[in-house]
Structure 1
Amino acid sequence: MKRSPKDTEASTRLVTRRAAVLGGVQLCLAGVLGWRMRQMQVEQADQFRLLAEENRINIRLIAPARGLIFDRNGTPLAENAQNYRVVIVREDAGDVEAAIARLRQLIYIDDDEVERALKEISRRSPFVPVTITEQRSWDDVAIVAVNAPALPGITPDVGLSRHYPLGQDFAHVIGYVGPVSDYDLGRIEDDDPLLQIPKFQIGKTGVEQKYEHDLRGSAGARRIEVNAAGRVMRELDRDDGVPGSDLQLTVDSGLQNFCEARLALGLSASAVVMDIETGDLTAVGNAPSFDPNKFVRGISVADYRDLTGNKYRPLANKAVQGAYPPGSTFKMLVTLAALDAGELNATETIYCGGFTKLGDRRFHCWKRGGHGRVNLEQSLQQSCDVFYYELAQRVGIERIAECARAFGIGERFDLPMSAVTAGVMPDMDWKRDRYGESWKVGDSLNAAIGQGFVLSSPLQLAVMSARIASGRAVMPRLVKSVDGVEIPLESAAPLPFRPEHLALIRKGMYSVSNTARGTAFRSRIEPPALKLAGKTGTSQVRSVVVDNSEVPWEQRDHALFVAYAPYDTPRYAVSVVIEHGGGGSSAAAPVARDIMLYALHGGLPPLDAYPAADRRGVEEMFARLDLRETTRAGGERSRA
């Protein structure tokens, strides 16, 4: 049907209006877009340029090299070894599990490593690199690098990991490092961003822990350019940070190795060697020991169970943590307290009939038949208990405690080792505060022979011996220098005791080791210039006295020996404790003599330093020792 001209005109006007409206809308939209483009490109150009740069440039922390640790002669005790690893960044990898699955097609990674990595990834921010596997070979790293385009977010990396080249020798002194744990983060107040790096290693025990801030250093950073897929394109800038400070300790690695090997011939023991002049600890030995390198990489459950379940306690630093009754090694201090109080002189004798009676109770001497009449020197020489029961009643615990504290008993020394004990030097107030009871005379008699409440560590006994030898309040020292800067020696003040009284104590210790009736005569040193002065001790771990051979190991007495040498010009002090070793004269004294002779000679001592009857046995013992060759030859240590 043909449309009329009128209808055609109306239709045309309608189309024209719609076109005008649509064109107007389009023009408005184009104007808005143009205005917005101008605003973004001109007015907000700097802001968007910055945002683009931030999306393109990543900043990642660089862990600094941990400070090294050396012995007094420069022998490395703690080093940093290269650690090849593979890391993943979650925000760059996309599907993490799929990315790791692709990686496992190229290199072998066990299920435990993958499980630990996935757990760590879930706990960390998406931009933080997480280690999937470490301690890899160079071939593994090369394979990952070659296949980088197929592994978004996954990159090979190289870092540093702690290594202890001397293994067990310094495990208890240096300690070890390990990855930062949630427990560590909750325990320490430290906002260092390094602690947020997965598997970043910090000191867990010993010097590594106590000097953590010095050894850690300061973080570095690197600026890297990545593409839209998160692939690292290039490194734009790098700041390696500040390495940790190097430490030099006072210990001697050769002497320490000998000390550890000699103690290992027993079951459970410790020893401390101290330079009398400076206070430097030249050896701090413990047996059995453990390999700290196992803790660096993460010790297995089986290995850790073996250590914690061992009744000889290889993880314990017995030399500074162990608190033992000092036994008869305490008698020198009781003697000095009596001399200082005017209750004893050099010629007075006291009769020993085998026991002292106090009320209805008998306090026995170790020699059941008694020693007869003995003077000061003879009481130390033969370790007569009755002599000291009498002194305790004359002097009282307060004077004894005051004297003992002057020699380091009951003092916690400020050394960078874990759980250094203060031991116990009891007095009336101590017992009242601890047990709510008054002090009894019987308590004083027990304390006089180093039993009862008195507890001391091998470290304290070494300090005691050094102070007796020098007459000065010499302090133990473990760190010699930090980053090459020597730590100043503290001036040791004279002890508040008369020199002639100290000379009497030294003479008694000389008789212990160098007269036929001395309890340590069999462990004497032959050359006159190296004569040793010492004191044996045997401390009970049970109240009923029985033959050590008739009871289990755990119920046997501890064996102790303290000494210094040479007698005329004291140089070193030594203390040895053999846990449940029996008698101090038979178990501890021979060990202490061997350690002392090694220290004095700077290596294995000549056989003529020993009594002729002992030389064959000593030679055989040396052959059994598990020593490093440099230690056996004495090549790591100067005699200066």
Structure 2
Amino acid sequence: MKRSSRDTATSARRVSRRALVLGGLQLGVMGALGLRMRQMQIEQADEFRLLADENRINMRLIAPARGLIFDRNGRPIAENAQNYRIVIVKEDAGDVDEVIARLQKLIHLDEGELERARRELDRRSPFVPVTLTDQRSWEDIATVAVNAPALPGITPDVGLTRNYPLRDDFAHVVGYVGPVSDYDLSRMDDDDPLLQIPKFQIGKTGVENKLERRLRGKAGTKQIEVNAAGRVMRELGRDEGTPGSNLQLTVDAGLQNFVQARLALGHSAAAVVMDVRDGDLLAVGSAPAFDPNKFVRGISSADYALLTENMYRPLSNKAAQGGYPPGSTFKMMVTLAALEMGEVTPDETIWCPGYHTLGNRRFHCWKRGGHGHVDLEESLQQSCDVYYYELAQRVGIDKIAEMSRRFGFGHRFDVPMSAVTDGIMPTKQWKRDRYDKGWLVGDSLNAAIGQGFVLASPLQLAVMSARLASGSAIEPRLIKSVDGVETEVKGGGPLGVNENHLRRVRKAMYAVSNSRRGTAYGSRIQDEALALAGKTGTSQVRNITAAERARGVTSNADLPWKRRDHALFVGFAPYTAPRYAVSVVVEHGGGGSSAAAPVARDILLYALHGKLPPLESYPTSQRQEIEEMQRTLPLSPLDRDGGGRSRA
């Protein structure tokens, strides 16, 4: 049927309208797209370029170089050594077992290391490098590099790791570093991203731990370009970060080496040497010790068991952590308390029949037959116990404690070593708080001879000796400088003790070492200009029953090691112009005069001479024995002649 011209016109108008609407819509969409494209390509170009770069460029942390640690003369005692290692990339290696087998034909590989590496390869993406072995020699690295074509995926690499060149000499002072663990992270309030780096080394003990933040430094960064799979393509930029601070300790490496070697002649001992003028700790020894390098990468179970199962406790820093009954080395504190209170005069004598009676109990003197009439100087010279039982009854424990605290007892000194003890300086209130019991007069008598509740560390005993020698309240200092900036010398104010009383005590300590009846006469220094003033001490670790005392006290030599008395000695030299103070504790050593005093004399002589002391410093009858001892001491070659160190 033929359409009319009217229908045709109407239809044409409809088509035209639809075409216009559709065209308009198309133009609108295209215009919107154009505007959006313009906005994205021009106005938001920087923003999208940054987003693209974030997908293409990764930022990775660079561990900074750890700060170095030196002794007072600039000798390195903790350094960063190059760590040559061999890494493998799984996807480049192909058959990993085959490549490792080829590598084993060239260099020795520890099976334990390989097993850990295989576990790491299973956990990591195939393009992530995994360490097969580290701490390799340059020869091993060169061998791998030469044979690189036959070892696909294997690459020699180099980094930094901690090294302690003097090994066990500073194990208890400097401590050691080790890989950061989940346990470390759980107890640290530290959000430093460096701690998230696998096997990142942090300080675990000693100075390394206490000054961790200063030694650690600040992380650097590097920009790397990665592809869509996350594989590293190239390095775009690098910021090395800030290395850790360098520390200089007050300790003298030569003296420290001698102290450790001398202490090692016994089973278990500690010694501290202190400069009486400024409080510098010149040596802090604890024996036996251990090699801290074994902890750097993570010590093996077998090696760790050898340390923890050793009855002489090599992991313990006995010099700062150990709390020991000070024995007769405490008697100077009782003397000064009595003098200051006017409860005794230097010339007053007290009768010693060999015991002191309190109620129906006898407190015995170490000398069974007694010392007879003794005054202040004689009581210290011969270490009469009865004299101090009497003074304790007159003075009381609170006044004794007040005097003792002036000399460092019961105080935790602020030195950056692990688990520094504050010891125990008891009072009446202390016993009520601790045991809910009242103080007894018998407690005072025990405390008067350094037994009972009184405990002190060798560090505290050295401080006491230094304060007696100097007459000032000097504080121990271990950090000499940080990045070349000298640290503050603390203390040095007056002790608040009558100088005449101090002179009397020093004179009595001189008699201990230089009078024929003195308990340390056998350990005297022959050179009068270097004369030693000191005090021996012997502290019981077992109870002596009345029956045993009646038949005769068992000799230490006849007792098992752990039941023998501790041996102690404190002192300073030279007597006329004090320079150095020393304390020595020999665990279960027997007697202070026989076990501790000779060690203290040798240490002081080395400090005074700056090297192995000449035989002329010793009594003639002892020189042959001393010469043999010096010849067999396990000293480092540099320290046998002092290493050219200063007599600081």
Structure 1 residue 78 displacement after superposition: 0.4
- Name the CA distance, whole Å, in 2 between partners of 1:318 and 1:636: 29
- Are 1:223 and 1:236, in contact at CA under 8 Å, matched by a contact in 2? yes
- Are 2:65 and 2:80, in contact at CA under 8 Å, matched by a contact in 1? yes
Match of 2:103 in 1: 107
Q: Which amino acid aligns with 1:560?
A: L
Match of 1:215 in 2: 215
- Name the CA distance, whole Å, in 2 between partners of 1:468 and 1:325: 19
Structure 1 residue 128 displacement after superposition: 8.0
SS in 2 for 1:265: coil
Per-residue CA deviation, residues 347-367 of structure 1 (Å, 9 max, x unaligned), is 100000000111111100000
Structure 1 residue 225 displacement after superposition: 2.7
Match of 2:82 in 1: 82
Q: Which amino acid aligns with 1:80?
A: N
Matches within 5 A, 1:83-482: 83-87=83-87, 100-101=96-97, 104-108=100-104, 109-117=109-117, 131-138=131-138, 141=141, 143=144, 156-227=156-227, 232-482=232-482
Per-residue CA deviation, residues 253-292 of structure 1 (Å, 9 max, x unaligned), is 0000011101111110010000000100000011111100
User: What RMSD, in angstroms, separates the aligned Cα atoms of the two structures?
Assistant: 2.8
Change (3 A) 1:146 1:63: farther
Tell whether 2:619 aligns with 1:611: yes
SS in 2 for 1:80: strand
Change (3 A) 1:582 1:146: same
- Name the CA distance, whole Å, in 2 between partners of 1:497 and 1:635: 40
Change (3 A) 1:100 1:471: farther
SS in 2 for 1:134: strand
Structure 1 residue 630 displacement after superposition: 1.5
Change (3 A) 1:414 1:129: farther
Match of 2:19 in 1: none
- Are 1:254 and 1:636, in contact at CA under 8 Å, matched by a contact in 2? no
Match of 1:13 in 2: none
SS in 1 for 2:631: helix
- Name the CA distance, whole Å, in 2 between partners of 1:246 and 1:485: 10
Structure 1 residue 401 displacement after superposition: 0.5
SS in 2 for 1:561: strand
Match of 1:630 in 2: 638
Match of 2:572 in 1: 564
- Name the CA distance, whole Å, in 2 between partners of 1:47 and 1:150: 44
- The partner residue of 1:620 within 605, 628, 631 is 628
Tell whether 2:518 aligns with 1:522: no
Match of 1:17 in 2: none
Structure 1 residue 95 displacement after superposition: 10
SS in 1 for 2:262: helix
**What TM-score comes out, normalization by structure 2 length?**
0.88
Q: Which amino acid aligns with 2:211?
A: Y
Change (3 A) 1:632 1:136: closer
Per-residue CA deviation, residues 114-165 of structure 1 (Å, 9 max, x unaligned), is 443465678889998654432234466564798599867x765321000000
Per-residue CA deviation, residues 71-120 of structure 1 (Å, 9 max, x unaligned), is 0000000010011234578xxx6699x77546524534544334434656
- Name the CA distance, whole Å, in 1 between partners of 2:635 and 2:369: 44
- Name the CA distance, whole Å, in 2 between partners of 1:149 and 1:57: 32
Change (3 A) 1:145 1:555: same
Change (3 A) 1:386 1:126: farther
- Name the CA distance, whole Å, in 2 between partners of 1:100 and 1:242: 38
Structure 1 residue 54 displacement after superposition: 3.0
SS in 2 for 1:316: coil
- Name the CA distance, whole Å, in 2 between partners of 1:106 and 1:35: 60
5+ long unaligned stretches in structure 2: 1-21, 545-552
Structure 1 residue 301 displacement after superposition: 1.1
Change (3 A) 1:54 1:524: same
Change (3 A) 1:577 1:491: closer
Match of 1:19 in 2: none
Change (3 A) 1:480 1:430: same
SS in 2 for 1:135: strand
Structure 1 residue 327 displacement after superposition: 0.2
- Name the CA distance, whole Å, in 2 between partners of 1:125 and 1:413: 50
Match of 1:494 in 2: 494
- Are 1:120 and 1:198, in contact at CA under 8 Å, matched by a contact in 2? no
Q: Which amino acid aligns with 1:472?
A: S
- Name the CA distance, whole Å, in 1 between partners of 2:128 and 2:416: 33
Change (3 A) 1:80 1:524: same
- Are 2:92 and 2:152, in contact at CA under 8 Å, matched by a contact in 1? no
Match of 2:585 in 1: 577
SS in 2 for 1:493: strand
5+ long unaligned stretches in structure 1: 1-23
- Name the CA distance, whole Å, in 1 between partners of 2:127 and 2:508: 71
Q: Which is further off, 218-227 or 340-349? A: 218-227
Q: Which amino acid aligns with 2:54?
A: E
Match of 1:599 in 2: 607
* Count, aligned residues: 606
Match of 2:540 in 1: 540
- Name the CA distance, whole Å, in 1 between partners of 2:122 and 2:467: 57
**What TM-score comes out, normalization by structure 1 length?**
0.89
Structure 1 residue 638 displacement after superposition: 1.0
- Are 2:325 and 2:454, in contact at CA under 8 Å, matched by a contact in 1? yes
- Name the CA distance, whole Å, in 1 between partners of 2:198 and 2:565: 48
- Name the CA distance, whole Å, in 1 between partners of 2:475 and 2:212: 23
- Name the CA distance, whole Å, in 2 between partners of 1:151 and 1:625: 52
Change (3 A) 1:47 1:223: same
Change (3 A) 1:551 1:192: same
Structure 1 residue 61 displacement after superposition: 1.1
Identity %: 68
- Are 2:472 and 2:492, in contact at CA under 8 Å, matched by a contact in 1? yes
Q: Which is further off, 345-354 or 491-500? A: 491-500
- Are 2:92 and 2:127, in contact at CA under 8 Å, matched by a contact in 1? no
SS in 1 for 2:570: strand
Structure 1 residue 299 displacement after superposition: 1.3
- Are 1:128 and 1:197, in contact at CA under 8 Å, matched by a contact in 2? no
- Are 1:539 and 1:558, in contact at CA under 8 Å, matched by a contact in 2? yes
